[in-house]
Amino acid sequence: MTTQQLCLPTVYLNGNFLPIEEAKISPLDRGFIFGDGVYEVIPFYAGRGLRMREHLRRLQRSMNELAIENPYAIEHWESTITALIERNGGGNVGVYIQVTRGVAKRDFPPPKGLTQTVFMMVNPLATPKPEIYAKGISCISLDDNRWLKCHIKSVALLGAVLLKHESNQGGFDEAVLFRDGYLTESSASNIAAVKSGIILCPPMDNLILPGITYELMIELARKNSMPLEIRRVARKEVKKADELWIMSSTKEVAPIVLLDDKPIGTGQPGPVFKQMYQHFQDYKRSLSAVSAAAE
């Protein structure tokens, strides 16, 4: 693979826009040595961010949790992200942002006063193919063996990487994770179930990432009077659910139709999913309408 294919050509590193081939980071960066850093992925449609502010607020919360000082004000993040997208030709893209504590002698305690490393790259937004919404995906149940601070969007992702790998090795698209008998999320997405027309959503505690898409889904459900409960969801409820959904910035909201090779509900995308899918598409269209009116 050439570096050209790794991401769109221009990246951002510590104040500079430069070709990916010229972006160099010290091997002593604590992000490389310890996974001591945080990240975000923000989807943009025709150059328009889907909830950029919410993503940047979550980035701030992740930095607060690790006591990494945010090097930029929110307006500076926004203008730099916009400039990076423009330099890469705009369009439908996902912007990846990573902030690490910086470079230091290898030692566990985080030293004070380091200069944070800020890296951003842009990738074409690979939203799922239409047949995924029409046919759904197949998942495996796995024990959630990640750490207990899953609400932090940390770059230390090995737990998630191994779970995703295990699901793919078994021929499944994704893993549905359970901790102590209760649904948490997927390796890189949130999960909700539907039973008797009610959307069942695991609470946003330390065991899951508070997904921006998840929050948007909950907001759209409330706005459209779709019944919803935020509470712990037991493994046996998931197995007997009528519908199961997976959500993230790159997947949007998609139906899971098979869990451990057994159908969820009818084994087809369900009616509540179809309603939510429509609300999500309408929301995306409203974004472009707002921006078209502003231009």
Ligand X SMILES: Cc1ncc(COP(=O)(O)O)c(C=O)c1O
Residues that bind ligand X (CB under 6 A): 41, 185, 188-190, 209, 211-214, 247-249
Closest approach, Cβ 41 to ligand X, in A, equals: 6
Task: Name the residue nearer to ligand X (CB basis): 58 or 101.
Answer: 58
Closest approach, Cβ 140 to ligand X, in A, equals: 16
Quote the CA–CA distance of 159 and 216 in Å, as a whole number: 26
Catalytic residue positions, numbered: 153
Quote the CA–CA distance of 10 and 54 in Å, as a whole number: 25
Task: Name the residue nearer to ligand X (CB basis): 149 or 240.
Answer: 149
Cα dist from 261 to 13, 46, 64, 90, 212, whole Å: 44, 38, 41, 40, 29
Task: Name the residue nearer to ligand X (CB basis): 127 or 189.
Answer: 189
Task: Name the residue nearer to ligand X (CB basis): 250 or 268.
Answer: 250
42: number of Cβ within 10 Å: 26
Which stretches of the chain are assigned E, i.e. beta strand? 10-13, 16-19, 37-45, 48-49, 93-100, 117-124, 137-143, 174-179, 182-183, 190-195, 198-201, 228-230, 243-248, 252-259, 262-263
Closest approach, Cβ 209 to ligand X, in A, equals: 4
Closest approach, Cβ 204 to ligand X, in A, equals: 10
Residue (of 70, 170, 169, 60) closest to 115 by Cα position: 70
